[in-house]
Structure 1
Amino acid sequence: MNKKIFKVLVVDDEESLRDICKDVLQDEGYEVLQATDGQDALQILSKEQDIDLVISDLKMPKMNGLELLKAVKEKKIDVDFVVMTGFGTIETAVECMKMGAADYLPKPFNINHLLVKVNKSIKARRQRLERKRLSSVVRVLNLSNALNSHLDLKSLVYEFVSHIQKNFRPDSVVLFLVNESKKLVKSVVRGKIFRINTKIFSFVQQKSQDVLDGGRSQLIDRYTFQEKGFDNFPYSLIIVPLMSQMQKVGVVALIREKDRELFTPRDVQLLSIFASHAANSFQNAKMYTKLRDMNMDIIRSYAKAVEAKDYYTKGHSENVASYALVLGSNLGLSSSELEKLYTAGVLHDIGKIGIPDHILNKPGRLTEEEFAIMKEHPLIGREILSQVWTLKDIFPLVYHHHERIDGLGYPDGLKGEELPFLGKLISVVDAFEAMTSDRAYRKALPLPEVEKILEEGAGRQWDEELVEKWLKLVRKAGMDGLKSGALISRLKEVLHSS
C-alpha cells in the first residue's frame, strides 16, 4: 500500500522565501504548492481537496494571512494552518491560535525550526485523520448491523434515515427511491425545510434526478451554488445517489440552514458509504436468506481494508476463518459456535487498521517500541467491534487471540482455562497460516518446520489438544506424499471444500 504523501501549500508574497520553503519541504518528502497571496491560496484550496497544511505569511497584499485563515474556517476547508510573519507579537500569535491556527512561526526562522513546526502539525493531522477513519468504520459497522436486523423494506428505510439524522445532524432529509418506471419517488421526508418549503424541495428533487442520472454526488452551498432562482443560496446541501452494483436504487438529500456549519467533502464521502450499504440492503430486502451473507461481505471488506495495508497478508484473514471452521467442524462444535469462529477468523486482525504502515510492512525485526505499538491491535480491534452489539460474542475472541497458555501472551496475560476456548482455536490456526505464508520479513516456512514449532509450543503457547487435532488434519490432507508447498495448497483446497 502506497504511503500517503502529505501536501503543503506555502503562501507568501516573497518568491525567494517560497522557493526556499519548497526546496526544504520537498527534500523532507512533502508535495509543495505555492501561492502569492491569500486570494491566490483560496483559489488553490477550492480546487485542491487534499491539501493538508497551509503555511502562510501574515502581511500580504489583496488578502493577508489572518483573512485567509478566517476564510478557510468559514468555508470549512479541512486543512491545518501555520502562520509565519516578521511582525510577530504575542498578541498576534494568540489571535491566530484563537482563530484555529495549529501553530505560529515568527520570522526570521531557520530551516530546522520550519521543519519542526511542519512535522509536528502533520503528525497531529495524521493521528486525527486515523481517529476519524476508525470512527467512520464503527459508524458504518453500526449502520450495517442495524440494516441487517430488518427484513422488510419499510423498516430498512426508516432505520437508514434514522442513522442519517444521528450521524450527520441535518435540519431536513429526504429519501427518494426508484420505482418500477425508473423514476424517483419520495419515500421518507424528515424536517420542516423539505416539508414546508416547496421551492427548495422542487429544486432538490430535480437535482436528485440529475445526481441519479449522472451517478455522482453533489455538495452545494453558498460558495458552490451557481443556479438561478436563489440570490444567495441560504443552505448547505448534500445529494448522494444510492447505487448497488451499478444499479440505481435511489437518492438521499441532506440540508442545513445557513447559520449551521457547512457540510464538507468528508461528509459526502461518509454519506456515500452509508448510501452504498443502504442501497445493497434495499435491493436485498425481500431476499431474507441473503441478508446474513451481505453482513459477512461487509465484515470481509474491513478485513481486506486491513490486508490492503500489508501486501503479504492478503487472504490471511479469510484463510484463518476457513481453517478455524474446519477444525471446529472436526471437533463437533455447534453451528452457532462455527459461525462465531468464522466471523472471528475474518475479523481477528481488524485492529491492525490502526497500526502504522511502516510497522506492518517492516522487512526486519521490530524494535521494542514498534512491537509495543503492534501489540495494541487486539485492543483496537476490541474497541471497534465492542460498539457493534451483534458482535459482542466475537470481540473477546479477537481481543485474546494473542494470549498464551502459559500466560506470557498479550494483551491481558491470561493463561490456561482463563482463555476462551474458541480464542485458543483461532490462535492455533492463525499461527499455522502465518508461518505457512510469505511475510515482509521472511518467506513461508517449510511444513515440517511449522509442525515442529507447533509441537514444541503445544502446552506453552498453544492448547496441546488443539495443536494435536490440527496437525492430524494437516497430515491427513497430505497423506499421499505431497511436498510441503503442494501440501499446503492441497490442505487449503480440502478446507475450503469441506
Structure 2
Amino acid sequence: MSDINCLIVGSPGPDEGLPWTAGGPGIRVQHSPSADAVCTILIREPVHAVVVSLAEDREERLQLIEVLAELYPDISIIAMLPRDTPDLAAAAVGHGAHGIVMLPLRADTLWDEIRQTVSRRRGTFERLRLRAMRPFLRLRDLLASGGASEVVLRRLAEAVQAELRADRASVICLEEETGQIAVASVTANGRDGADGGPGAYWKISPAQLAVMTGKAADNGGAGGHVLQMPLTTNGRTVGVLTVARDREEDLFSPSEREMLALLGTLGASPLINIDLITRLRQANDNLINALAHASELHEDSLRGHSERLAAYAVAIGRHLHVDHQMLEDLRIAAMSHDVGKIGVSDVILHKPGPLTPEEFEIVKGHTVMGAQILSAAQFPSNIVQWVLHHHERFDGRGYPAGLAEDQIPLGARILAVADAYEVMSTGRVYRRPLNWVPCVAELRTSRASQFDPTVVDAFLDALSRGEIDMRQPASGAAPESRTASETLQYVS
C-alpha cells in the first residue's frame, strides 16, 4: 500500500500521550485542532483518512463526520471516542464513520486501524456493490420528508438519475384527491422540465400526460434507451419511474434494472397517502425483509439464516424476561444483522479455505457498514448498536470496538450467541453442518470468554424446553468439515 495521508481532528485528551506529529510507518499525519480548518486542508492537498476525536465538541464533530462522508466519499473516516460510550459509537457510524477506535489507545493501534480502514475502502469493496447501497441510504430522506409529494418525488427522481447514471429521470404519481398527476423530472445536463430547470416539478391532467407520452414515443426512434418501472407497494401501483440514456450504446445492465426495481419498491411507500405510523411500519417491515434477503444472496446455504437467527434471539430474550418491545427489536436486529456483508466480495465470502488476516479484516468491516445502512434508514438506535456490536466478545477481544462484559449492549450479546449456534449448526460453503451436541459443547466451553454466561444459559434453557429447533436445516454440504471451535473463528 502506498503512503497514507492522514488528518487528525481534535485530541484524545491530556492523559493518553499519543504522538500526533510522528505518524507511523507509511502514514503521514497532519493535525487540525478544530473542525473549521478541515475543509481548507482537504481542498489544499490529498487526504486519504480523517480521524475525528469525539472526546470533546461531540455534536460539532458528528456533523463534521456527516459532511465528510457526503462530500468526500473516497476518504476513510475513523471516529475516536471514549470507552464505555456505545451510544456514541452507534452515532458516529450513523453519521458516516467507517471505523472506530476507543480511548485510551496506543499509537500503533491507531495506525493499524487507519491502514485497515483505508485498505478496505481502497480495493476490496466492489464499486458496484457500494453504489447499489446508496438507495438504501436515500430512503432516510424519503421517509423523513413527511409525505409531501413534491419533496418525495424530487428526491426520488434525483436518486434514480444519480444511481443509474441516466441522462434523464422522471417520477410520476397520481394524486387521488385531485385526480391530477404530479411529475418530477431531473437531468444530468441541467436542461429539462416545465420551467427549464434541472429539477422541475409540475402537475398535469391525465389527458396532458397522454399527449406528452405520445411525443416521447415519437422521439424514441432517434436512438437511446428508456427504462420504466412501476412504483408499487403492497400490490398497489402509485406511479412510474422512468430513466433514459441518449446514446444508443449506453444499454442498461441487468444489475441496473434490478436496482430500478428496488427503487420502485422503496420509493413507493412514502407516496401512499395513509396514516403516517402505519406507512412507516410497513415500509420498515418491507425494508427489513429486503435487507435480510439481500444479505443472503451470496450463498444458497444462507437462505433462512436470518429467520432462524431471529427465532433463536427471541427465544433467548423470553428466557431473560425482556419486555415485548425488546423482543420485537431483537427480531428486527436479527433479520438485518448481516446486511453489511453486501459490501464484502463474493470471492472472500465463498472461499472454502481459511481466511487470511487481510481477508478477515475485510469481513470484520461488515458490522460498521451494516450499522451505517440501518442508521441511515432511521432504524432505532438500539438496533443499530446491536448490529454494530454483535461480534464483540465477552472478554473484550471482539470487534469493532473491543467492548467487554456489560459494556456490550444486551441485544448484541444475545445476537452473538444465537448467531454462533446458527453458524455452527447450518452448512456453509466451507464446512458441513454440525449436529446440536458439539454446538452446545462449544457454547459451554466459550462461556465467559466469547459469550455472556447468562445469555448462554438462557439459550440452553430454551433449547432443553424445545423452544429452539434442533433439526438441521437443509443446506449445501462442503467437501470437508471444520470443528465447532474452528467454525467459531468466523463469528469471533
Shorter chain as denominator, the TM-score bin is 0.5 to 0.7
Residue 131 in structure 1 maps to residue 131 in structure 2: no
Flag the 1:147–1:132 CA change in 2: closer, same or farther, 3 A.
Answer: same
Q: Which residue of 2 aligns with 1:428?
A: 417
Flag the 1:376–1:128 CA change in 2: closer, same or farther, 3 A.
Answer: closer
Q: Which residue of 2 aligns with 1:494?
A: none
Q: Is the 8 A contact 1:242 1:275 kept in 2?
A: yes
* Alignment-mate amino acid for residue 137 of structure 1: M
1: CA distance, partners of 2:447 / 2:278: 40
Q: Which residue of 2 aligns with 1:372?
A: 361
Q: Which residue of 1 aligns with 2:194?
A: 195
**Which of 317, 331, 336 pairs up with 2:320?**
331
Q: Which residue of 2 aligns with 1:168?
A: 161
Q: Which residue of 2 aligns with 1:395?
A: 384
* Alignment-mate amino acid for residue 241 of structure 1: P
Q: State the SS of the aligned residue for 1:249.
A: strand
Q: Is the 8 A contact 2:270 2:279 kept in 1?
A: no
Q: Which residue of 1 aligns with 2:220?
A: 225
Q: Is the 8 A contact 1:147 1:159 kept in 2?
A: yes
* Alignment-mate amino acid for residue 471 of structure 2: G
Q: State the SS of the aligned residue for 1:410.
A: coil
Flag the 1:391–1:205 CA change in 2: closer, same or farther, 3 A.
Answer: same
Question: By how many angstroms is 1:190 displaced?
Answer: 6.3
Q: State the SS of the aligned residue for 1:251.
A: strand
Q: Which residue of 2 aligns with 1:60?
A: none
Q: Which residue of 2 aligns with 1:446?
A: 435
Question: By how many angstroms is 1:433 displaced?
Answer: 1.4
Residue 485 in structure 1 maps to residue 478 in structure 2: no
Q: Which residue of 2 aligns with 1:385?
A: 374
**More helix per residue:** 1
* Alignment-mate amino acid for residue 131 of structure 1: R
Q: Which runs of 5+ in 1 are unaligned?
A: 1-125, 212-217, 228-232, 489-498
Residue 289 in structure 1 maps to residue 289 in structure 2: no
Flag the 1:139–1:263 CA change in 2: closer, same or farther, 3 A.
Answer: farther
Q: CA deviation digits over 1:390-409, x for unaligned, max 9?
A: 34432322122111111222
Larger Rg: 1
Question: By how many angstroms is 1:463 displaced?
Answer: 0.1
Q: How does 1:55-74 map to 2 (within 5 A)?
A: none
Q: CA deviation digits over 1:25-53, x for unaligned, max 9?
A: xxxxxxxxxxxxxxxxxxxxxxxxxxxxx
Q: CA deviation digits over 1:442-495, x for unaligned, max 9?
A: 22222222111111111111000111111011101179xx9x53899xxxxxxx
Q: State the SS of the aligned residue for 2:390.
A: coil
Question: By how many angstroms is 1:146 displaced?
Answer: 4.4
Flag the 1:263–1:245 CA change in 2: closer, same or farther, 3 A.
Answer: farther
1: CA distance, partners of 2:167 / 2:425: 54
Q: Which residue of 1 aligns with 2:152?
A: 159
Question: By how many angstroms is 1:130 displaced?
Answer: 2.5
Q: Percent identity, please.
A: 29
Q: Is the 8 A contact 1:176 1:185 kept in 2?
A: no
* Alignment-mate amino acid for residue 152 of structure 2: E
Q: Is the 8 A contact 1:303 1:349 kept in 2?
A: yes
TM-score, length-normalised on structure 1?
0.56
Q: Which residue of 2 aligns with 1:265?
A: 252
1: CA distance, partners of 2:467 / 2:226: 61
Question: By how many angstroms is 1:167 displaced?
Answer: 5.9
Q: Which residue of 2 aligns with 1:5?
A: none
Flag the 1:433–1:244 CA change in 2: closer, same or farther, 3 A.
Answer: same
Q: Which residue of 2 aligns with 1:32?
A: none
Give aligned pairs, total. Answer: 336
Q: How does 1:231-242 map to 2 (within 5 A)?
A: 240-242=229-231
* Alignment-mate amino acid for residue 357 of structure 1: D
Flag the 1:341–1:208 CA change in 2: closer, same or farther, 3 A.
Answer: farther
Flag the 1:207–1:326 CA change in 2: closer, same or farther, 3 A.
Answer: farther
2: CA distance, partners of 1:363 / 1:172: 44
**Which of 177, 199, 205 pairs up with 2:209?**
205
Q: Which moved more, 1:431-440 or 1:334-343?
A: 334-343
Residue 250 in structure 1 maps to residue 239 in structure 2: yes
1: CA distance, partners of 2:238 / 2:473: 46
Q: Which residue of 2 aligns with 1:34?
A: none
TM-score, length-normalised on structure 2?
0.56
Q: CA deviation digits over 1:127-163, x for unaligned, max 9?
A: 69933432332323432x4455577xx5356324334
Q: CA deviation digits over 1:189-210, x for unaligned, max 9?
A: 568943258xxx9999338768
Question: By how many angstroms is 1:277 displaced?
Answer: 2.3
Q: Which residue of 1 aligns with 2:181?
A: 186
Q: Which runs of 5+ in 2 are unaligned?
A: 1-121, 197-203, 475-492
2: CA distance, partners of 1:136 / 1:396: 23
* Alignment-mate amino acid for residue 265 of structure 1: F
Q: Is the 8 A contact 2:301 2:429 kept in 1?
A: yes
2: CA distance, partners of 1:272 / 1:478: 38
Q: State the SS of the aligned residue for 1:322.
A: helix
**Which of 283, 299, 304 pairs up with 1:310?**
299
Question: By how many angstroms is 1:423 displaced?
Answer: 0.8
Residue 467 in structure 1 maps to residue 471 in structure 2: no
Q: Which residue of 1 aligns with 2:400?
A: 411
Question: By how many angstroms is 1:349 displaced?
Answer: 1.0
Residue 357 in structure 1 maps to residue 342 in structure 2: no
Q: CA deviation digits over 1:411-442, x for unaligned, max 9?
A: 33222222122111110111111122122222
1: CA distance, partners of 2:289 / 2:156: 22
* Alignment-mate amino acid for residue 430 of structure 1: D
* Alignment-mate amino acid for residue 344 of structure 2: I
Q: Is the 8 A contact 2:340 2:366 kept in 1?
A: yes
Q: Is the 8 A contact 1:238 1:254 kept in 2?
A: yes
Q: Is the 8 A contact 2:392 2:408 kept in 1?
A: yes
Q: Is the 8 A contact 1:435 1:445 kept in 2?
A: yes
Question: By how many angstroms is 1:332 displaced?
Answer: 2.6
Q: CA deviation digits over 1:45-76, x for unaligned, max 9?
A: xxxxxxxxxxxxxxxxxxxxxxxxxxxxxxxx
2: CA distance, partners of 1:299 / 1:441: 27
Q: Is the 8 A contact 2:173 2:240 kept in 1?
A: yes
Flag the 1:130–1:210 CA change in 2: closer, same or farther, 3 A.
Answer: farther
Q: State the SS of the aligned residue for 2:220.
A: coil
* Alignment-mate amino acid for residue 162 of structure 1: R
Q: State the SS of the aligned residue for 2:151.
A: helix
RMSD: 4.5
